[in-house]
């Protein structure tokens, strides 16, 4: 039971983390109306989340690997709650941007800690354990989104989430820890490897369809009946989170790298569906593969570079989500203002880059097995 508690802690942390990403589609109309801003202006909020959560994850990971996750985890939990409480108190869009950025810093660090609680404690079942923990990064929003969609304004929602989070998460992080005596390559060794940058580029571009639908589904689906749109907004995080243990289980048996490659292909099919105007099918395919893909890239990095510095190494890799966030939110929104077709072709192009940059790693691994 000792190590099983870390799965539960990580799962709960991920449930709250998911509200920053997968509840954005539900929050975005409330925020846009409340602050009286345009689609492009409010899209900056999602971009700031992607950047700050990603950039600060390796910084938090450094302290977590060196000193343990407790102290940096408690601080990050408070920062994450400030993101919602600060939004509740925001008188204008600029204060919201600041508050949301502060909260995103905490969310990013917590994401790395939660995932690594699973990877470090369950090294023999890394894919499955990480899948269970990261399932929360979908389930939390799937539960919250219908209530957010029914809310009259963003203040009610953000106050409720912030109050619960600032009480619960610091307690859970205070009782968290990493196992001793782990081995692995240092961050310096990892980033000097060509393999790392192939993984990085594939990760950053593969997640663009997921970022697009996470941030812009309410815009892309504006022609759909309201009930269908709300359903899709709820289905996206449910699929993204709920299938992660299944694909983690498959990855432990089929191979983490091979499973990751197959899911990049599924995401590409989702991008093709978006180009064809099949919003519902695209949402299902992207939800099916997208969430699992993020944690599998963490597993790929850890499988290659080891466990001792996995929080900071996966944190450096996670900065690719900042790039993917910029590509899939603000850049997509700007291209969308030019034409819908341009933005959809762009999304498909990113997906294809993600597939192609993973191929060299796959072939290298297979050729070694043949030898």
pLDDT tens digits for range 53-90: 988 999 999 999 999 999 999 999 999 999 999 999 99
Is the pTM of the predicted complex or chain greater than 0.75? yes
Rounded distance between C-alpha atoms, residue 69 and residue 311, angstroms: 10
Give the range with max mean pLDDT: 141-145, 210-214, 255-259: 255-259
Residue corresponding to tokens 């408070």? 78
208 and 66 belong to one structural domain? no
Tally the domains of the chain.
Answer: 2
pLDDT tens digits for range 79-127: 999 999 999 999 999 999 999 999 999 999 999 999 999 999 998 889 9
Task: Find the CATH number of the domain harbouring 169.
Answer: 1.20.1250.20
134 and 223 belong to one structural domain? no
The pLDDT score that the predictor gives to residue 189 is 93
- pLDDT averaged over the chain? 89
pLDDT tens digits for range 279-327: 999 999 998 898 788 889 989 999 889 999 999 998 899 888 778 878 8
The pLDDT score that the predictor gives to residue 234 is 79
Residue 369 has pLDDT above 70, yes or no: no
Q: What angle do CA 323, 326, 331 make, to 5 degrees?
A: 135
The pLDDT score that the predictor gives to residue 25 is 79
162 and 194 belong to one structural domain? no
CA within 13 Å, CB half, 217: 33
Percent of the chain with pLDDT over 70: 98
- Cβ atoms of 15 and 139 within 8 Å: the answer is yes
Which two tokens mark 189?
Answer: 């060794």
154 and 200 belong to one structural domain? no
Which two tokens mark 90?
Answer: 């925001």
Rounded distance between C-alpha atoms, residue 353 and residue 357, angstroms: 6
192 and 154 belong to one structural domain? no
pLDDT tens digits for range 170-220: 999 999 999 988 888 999 999 999 999 999 999 999 999 998 988 788 788
In which band, very low, low, confident or very high, does the pLDDT at 367 lie, cut at 50, 70 and 90? very low
pLDDT tens digits for range 151-160: 888 899 999 9
Residue 133 forms part of a structural domain: yes
State the first-to-last Cα distance of the chain, in angstroms, to the nearest integer: 41
Which residues span the domain enclosing 234? Answer: 187-363
Rounded distance between C-alpha atoms, residue 242 and residue 136, angstroms: 8
């Amino acid at each position: 039971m000792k190590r099983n508690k870390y799965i539960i802690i990580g799962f709960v942390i991920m449930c709250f983390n998911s509200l920053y990403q997968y509840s954005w589609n539900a929050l975005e109309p409330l925020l846009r109306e409340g602050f009286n801003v345009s689609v492009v202006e409010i899209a900056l909020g999602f971009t700031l989340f992607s950047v700050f959560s990603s950039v600060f994850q390796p910084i938090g990971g450094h302290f977590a690997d060196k000193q343990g996750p407790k102290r940096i985890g408690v601080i990050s939990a408070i920062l994450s709650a400030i993101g919602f409480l600060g939004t509740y108190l925001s008188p204008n869009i600029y204060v919201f941007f600041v508050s949301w950025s502060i909260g995103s810093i905490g969310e990013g660090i917590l994401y790395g800690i939660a995932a690594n609680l699973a990877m470090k404690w369950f090294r023999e079942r890394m894919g499955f354990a990480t899948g269970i923990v990261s399932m929360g990064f979908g389930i939390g929003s799937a539960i919250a989104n219908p209530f957010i969609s029914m809310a009259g304004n963003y203040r009610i929602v953000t106050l409720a989430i912030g109050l619960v989070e600032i009480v619960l998460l610091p307690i859970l992080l205070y009782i968290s820890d990493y196992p001793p005596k782990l081995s692995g390559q240092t961050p310096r060794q990892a980033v000097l490897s060509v393999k790392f940058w192939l993984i990085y580029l594939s990760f950053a571009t593969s997640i663009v369809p997921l970022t697009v639908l996470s941030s812009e589904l309410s815009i892309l689906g504006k022609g759909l009946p309201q009930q269908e749109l709300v359903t899709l907004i709820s289905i996206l995080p449910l699929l993204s989170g709920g299938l992660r243990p299944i694909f983690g289980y498959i990855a432990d048996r089929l191979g983490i790298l091979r499973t990751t490659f197959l899911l990049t292909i599924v995401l590409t099919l989702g991008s093709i569906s978006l180009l064809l105007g099949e919003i519902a099918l695209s949402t299902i395919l992207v939800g099916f593969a997208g969430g699992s893909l993020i944690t599998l890239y963490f597993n790929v990095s850890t499988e290659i570079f080891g466990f001792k510095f996995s929080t900071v190494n996966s944190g450096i890799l996670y900065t690719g989500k900042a790039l993917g966030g910029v590509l899939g939110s603000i850049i997509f929104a700007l291209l969308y203002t030019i034409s819908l077709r341009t933005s959809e072709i762009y999304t498909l192009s990113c997906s294809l880059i993600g597939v192609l940059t993973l191929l060299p790693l796959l072939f290298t691994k297979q050729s070694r097995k043949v030898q």
